[in-house]
Amino acid sequence: AAASETDHNEHLSDKQNHSAAVSHSQFVICSFVSRRLNDLSKHNPLWKSLCSKHWLLTEKERLQSGESWFSLFKQYYKDLGRYIQYYPVLKKAWEQLKSFLQQRCPRMIASLKEGATEVELNDIEAQIGCRLPEDYRCSYRIHNGQKLVIPGLMGSMSLSNHYRSEVLLDVETAAGGFQQRKGMRRCLPLTFCFHTGLSQYMALEPAEGRRMFESFYPCPDQTSQDPSSVDMFITGSCFLEWFTTYVHNVVSGEFPIIRDQIFRYVHDKSCVATTGDITVSVSTCFLPELSSAHPPHFFFTYRIRIEMSSSALPEAACQLDSRYWKITTSDGNVEEVQGPGVVGEFPVMTPGKVHEYASCTTFSTPSEYMEGHYTFHRLANKEEVFQVAIPRFHMVCPPFRQVVPSVRHAPQPEVQFMPAHSELYEAFKDTS
């Protein structure tokens, strides 16, 4: 009997694993073979796994709906079927982001807008005369961007006299900023910063040297005779990559939360050095709004965290006196810089104390690295002077490309995102 029960459980497990590998379209096709297969194809446990896979639905949501898993799948498919390859990824990203914001930046939650409708997205396409990519449409069905408030959902950056915070634009506002001017033709803004006027854009067509659907920060080419020539600092190859990469960096703690805002500093886990009781770690950020590719002028900011171990003895207390930097650019040039304190401060470090500060630098090469040390003295004995290592950290400009409006490119074939789902739609209607 025990052996028989084991065989039965293994058989059920095999059936469940096999059903999870069968697509929803295959179940619909089976339903037309015979009455028996039609009945079997509506077996609820089969559709439960598909509802979980494609629509991220839970048993609680099914009970609240009062529908069977099969009926629930049909409802979602009729509304969102064209996005079935994107929806679970984007829905999961949005849910992760909202869960994180609720805990760390709760005021941002109130700025999120409800999803747009299919009719609204179709109207926008008619307004701009351009097709929106399917992954963009799918995300905007979930949330139609953000209200025009500060702080922006897509990250902030703050220096002593400079502030940037990027709002994720709702589709109506984005359509109002759709570009037809030379040098930026067929580009839709994704974000906007009130303080700098900076936007990230998405190319809706492969015009003027841009690739379809890639995202970028535009930058005027100051060396070109054509005033409409721009350089683009590329931030993503498509909306799905652009958005999910950002969300991952937020929810994984890659980007720090400072004063209820997401700051887009990137921390390389190797950029940590410990000397005695003091640990120094570094994170960096590229600022496109203060940079240019032609002429080469790349602006970076870096944030340094200095921490004394809480287990250090009280007599280990010390004060920072000076800093030393060794800067190496990608063309091999080396520069050494030293000076008193850090950004005009001489922090005192005691057991458990943390001191953080931000500074900035510019280079004429797209990549470089810095390293160095701080000089401290003990508070109990000013004659005791020692150095604390600053780990090497790299600053790398995003990929950039020159856009030449005068160049004409042969038209590219239309991208097919998804096979037409109208047949499946009708099939679902017929099997109700």
Q: What is the pLDDT of residues 57-76, one digit of tens each?
A: 999 999 999 999 988 999 99
Q: CA torsion sign, 63 to 65 to 66 to 72?
A: negative
Residue 349 predicted with pLDDT over 80 = yes
Is the distance from CB of 139 to CB of 90 less than 8 angstroms? yes
Residue 24 predicted with pLDDT over 50 = yes
Tell me what the mean pLDDT of segment 256-272 comes to: 93
Q: Which of 326, 328, 330, 350 is nearest to 338 (CA)?
A: 326
Beta bridge partners of residue 258, listed in sequence order:
261
pTM (two decimals): 0.85
CA 155 to chain centre: 9
Band (364; pLDDT cuts 50, 70, 90)? very high
Residue 8 predicted with pLDDT over 60 = no
Would you state the pLDDT for residue 30?
53
Residue 145 predicted with pLDDT over 90 = yes
Residue 15 predicted with pLDDT over 80 = no
Residue 9 predicted with pLDDT over 50 = no
Helices (H), 143-263: 171-176, 239-251
Band (46; pLDDT cuts 50, 70, 90)? confident
Would you state the pLDDT for residue 19?
46
Band (269; pLDDT cuts 50, 70, 90)? confident
Band (41; pLDDT cuts 50, 70, 90)? low
Architecture of the domain defined by 87-250: 3-Layer(aba) Sandwich (3.40)
Would you state the pLDDT for residue 61?
93
Residue 344 predicted with pLDDT over 60 = yes
Per-residue pLDDT tens for 87-97? 999 999 999 99
Would you state the pLDDT for residue 40?
56
Q: pLDDT averaged over the chain?
A: 87
Q: What are 76-82's contacts with CB under 8 Å, separation 24+?
A: 76/51, 77/24, 77/421, 77/424, 77/425, 77/428, 78/425, 78/428, 79/118, 80/55, 80/138, 80/141, 81/421, 81/424, 81/425, 82/134, 82/418, 82/421
Would you state the pLDDT for residue 105?
92
The domain limits of the chain are 2-81, 87-250, 265-398
Would you state the pLDDT for residue 27?
53
Would you state the pLDDT for residue 3?
43
Residue 428 predicted with pLDDT over 80 = no
Residue 166 predicted with pLDDT over 50 = yes
CA dist 363 and 34 (Å) reads 71
Would you state the pLDDT for residue 385?
98
Per-residue pLDDT tens for 209-253? 899 999 999 999 999 888 889 999 999 999 999 999 999 999 999
Helices (H), 31-151: 35-40, 44-55, 59-65, 69-80, 87-104, 106-109, 118-128, 134-142
Would you state the pLDDT for residue 247?
98
Would you state the pLDDT for residue 409?
39
User: Residue 59's CB: how many other CB atoms inside 10 A?
Assistant: 11
Per-residue pLDDT tens for 190-201? 999 999 999 999
CA dist 59 and 292 (Å) reads 53
Would you state the pLDDT for residue 1?
39
Residue 80 predicted with pLDDT over 70 = yes
> Is-same-fold flag (87-250; 265-398)?
no
Residue 396 predicted with pLDDT over 70 = yes
Tell me what the mean pLDDT of segment 329-342 comes to: 95
Would you state the pLDDT for residue 416?
35
CATH topology of domain 265-398: Immunoglobulin-like (2.60.40)
* pLDDT over 90 percentage in the chain: 76
